[in-house]
Amino acid sequence: MSALVAEVRPGAYYDSVVLMQLQRGLAGLPGVLDAGVVMATPVNLELLAASHLTADVKAGPDDLLLVVRSDNEALGRAALEQVDVLLARRRTAEASEFRPKSLESAARTLLEASWVLISVPGRFAAGVAREALRLGKNVFLYSDNVPAEDEIALKRTAFKEGLLVMGPDCGTAIIGGVGFGFANRVRPGAIGLVAASGTGLQTATSAIHALGGGVSQAIGTGSHDLTVEVGAISTLQGLDVLGRDPATKVIVLISKPPEPGVAGTILAAAQACGKPVVLDLIGLAPGASHLNNLHFATTLEEAARMAVELERTPSARPATALPRARGFLRGLFSGGTLAYESVLALQDVLQPLYTNVPLRESQRLEDPLRSRGHTLLDLGADAFTIGRLHPMIDNDLRLRRLRQELEDPETGVLLLDLVLGEGAHPDPASELAPVIAEAVEKTRHPVVMVVIGTDEDPQGMQGQIERLRSAGAHVYSSLSLALDDVVRRLTPDPPPLPAQVPLGIFSAKPAAINVGLESFYDSLIAQGAAAIHVDWKPPAGGNDRLMRILAKMKAGPAHEAR
């Protein structure tokens, strides 16, 4: 019958790579059937229990727990006696390499370092990141389980200081041609990426490489960046960096669907950057293939393909900017499906958006007789057709509503459809054109129209289009082109950045300080980057009370004043 032997080493901290190697060393000793070497956190204790390595000992999250299952107790005890030998071999291998004990000492040693990679346990990570920002360093924060309030505070501090925090829970980045974390090795090129998904970033960059393209920068943000609470701070900084970077010609943005308010903010920043932006907001069904400089993909592989094609095809670059319009969009549709498609395409690009055909409850227009914000109306809906003909037959209701919108000082752009065909109004342009001409002359509001029909329709499609254009309307034969026109006129101003992240930190191979997983340090060295590894241990032995006292002492009088 096998025996289970355990040992606790209070306050002995080792990173997960050391623990893994020590566990493998123990498991390879004579008579050992299985071994577990962990910091005794609740989660790790559960994992040991699942592996039938539960030990009847008292251990806390800052204690090293070693458990061995062996053929007999004597062999288990003998195995544990080898722990110090296994650790000593590792220390001997490291002896020739200088390893500072603190982040501050590392910064004095590697003066050119502009990045700090942090992969310590989550409860300590925010403290290390705060120290890095205090030293003026940008942060790659791999650690997870960092409290939301700490992430918000860290990113707001960086935002004000022109520093970048990638993470928490950021697994991948490529900066200056050097991969951080779990990045793949890809050729350099002109496609820059911003991603709230580490594996999504790896998939896209690998696909770009396979398609013959190359990567300028790949900026991770961490999985929580696009929540309302965080406000997409790192995403906005990433878009700003890539927008200013002369080496980046096309930008790819990857995330799970951001919350609606955040989506509007990042799409405004993406439009304002002036470069083609491919968006794969995973799980979000786009309502158009492209709007202005925004190109929508539905898979990571499609996003990579679109980015490579855009980089290679100058004609696919953003269209010439149209005159900016102030005010809101007012869309008056006779076609219900056209109204729905417009809502789907514009709901995250133009906000606030209201309609009588809402896809989200927040979009519902309480009074269909009065517009607010950006408004899209299906004038063929039941509320408008009681006792009157459908607007495809009778223009009276739409003409009345059009005049009403022209009198509204908040109106900026007008969007209308004109649907031709059997049974429709025999000459709708004859009634619409005079009102459109009046609108253009008096209010200068642009009127954008989509005409749906064929050259064989009884109304004469080309004649209808010519009459509308003569009145001053901007006429298109597809809804997507009309919506593209609208978006280019109503591109919102991007949110201001208090301080921009300097481009210099992206232009050459980075120099970095590593705190945590040694494998990240080894990867930096293997890629030819200048790097130094900190021999980090939890401050105050992990005692929360003493850690707070030390933090106050380090902050000094400025902290007390706050």
Spatial separation of the C-alpha atoms in residues 490 and 346, rounded to whole Å: 11
pLDDT over threshold 70, residue 236:
yes
Give this prediction's pTM: 0.80
Q: What is the mean pLDDT of residues 543-556?
A: 61
pLDDT over threshold 60, residue 59:
yes
Which amino acid is it at 7?
A: E
Q: What is the mean pLDDT of residues 268-288?
A: 84
Model confidence at 559, pLDDT cuts 50, 70, 90, reads very low
Specify the pLDDT at position 312.
Answer: 93
Most confident of 178-192, 255-269, 275-289: 178-192
Percent of the chain with pLDDT over 70: 92
Average pLDDT for the chain: 89
pLDDT over threshold 70, residue 554:
no
Specify the pLDDT at position 319.
Answer: 60
Task: Map out the domains of the chain with their CATH numbers.
Answer: 3-94 (3.30.70), 103-316 (3.40.50.261), 328-489 (3.40.50.261)
- Looking at per-residue pLDDT, the higher value among 256 and 346 belongs to 346
> Would you give the DSSP letter of residue 364?
B
Specify the pLDDT at position 99.
Answer: 85
Q: What is the mean pLDDT of residues 261-284?
A: 87
- Give the count of beta carbons closer than 10 Å to the beta carbon of residue 545: 8
Model confidence at 562, pLDDT cuts 50, 70, 90, reads very low
Model confidence at 291, pLDDT cuts 50, 70, 90, reads confident
Spatial separation of the C-alpha atoms in residues 313 and 257, rounded to whole Å: 28
- Looking at per-residue pLDDT, the higher value among 79 and 560 belongs to 79
Specify the pLDDT at position 550.
Answer: 58
**Out of 173-187, 200-214, 252-266, 343-357, least confident range:** 252-266
Collect all residues with Cβ–Cβ distance below 8 Å to 126 and sequence separation of at least 6.
146, 147, 150, 151, 153, 154
Specify the pLDDT at position 493.
Answer: 73
The three-class DSSP label of residue 420 is coil
What digits encode the pLDDT tens for the residues 487-523?
A: 989 877 777 788 999 999 998 899 999 999 999 999 9
Please give the backbone phi and psi of residue 128, each rounded to the nearest 5 degrees, phi first: -65, -40
Q: What is the mean pLDDT of residues 300-318?
A: 87
Specify the pLDDT at position 426.
Answer: 95
**DSSP count for the chain of H helices, then E strands:** 20, 22
Specify the pLDDT at position 10.
Answer: 87
- Give the count of beta carbons closer than 10 Å to the beta carbon of residue 301: 17
Cβ atoms of 380 and 392 within 8 Å: the answer is yes
Q: What is the mean pLDDT of residues 141-160?
A: 96
Spatial separation of the C-alpha atoms in residues 542 and 61, rounded to whole Å: 9
Cβ atoms of 376 and 353 within 8 Å: the answer is yes
What digits encode the pLDDT tens for the residues 436-493?
A: 998 898 888 999 999 999 999 999 999 999 999 999 999 999 999 999 999 989 877 7
Cβ atoms of 11 and 541 within 8 Å: the answer is yes
Spatial separation of the C-alpha atoms in residues 318 and 272, rounded to whole Å: 11
Q: Which residue has the tokens 């903010």?
A: 265
The three-class DSSP label of residue 285 is coil
Query: What is the end-to-end Cα distance of the chain in Å, rounded?
Result: 62
pLDDT over threshold 80, residue 39:
yes
- CA-based R_g, the chain, Å: 30
Q: Helical H runs in 408-517?
A: 428-443, 461-470, 479-489
Model confidence at 271, pLDDT cuts 50, 70, 90, reads confident
Collect all residues with Cβ–Cβ distance below 8 Å to 110 and sequence separation of at least 6.
511, 513, 530, 531, 532
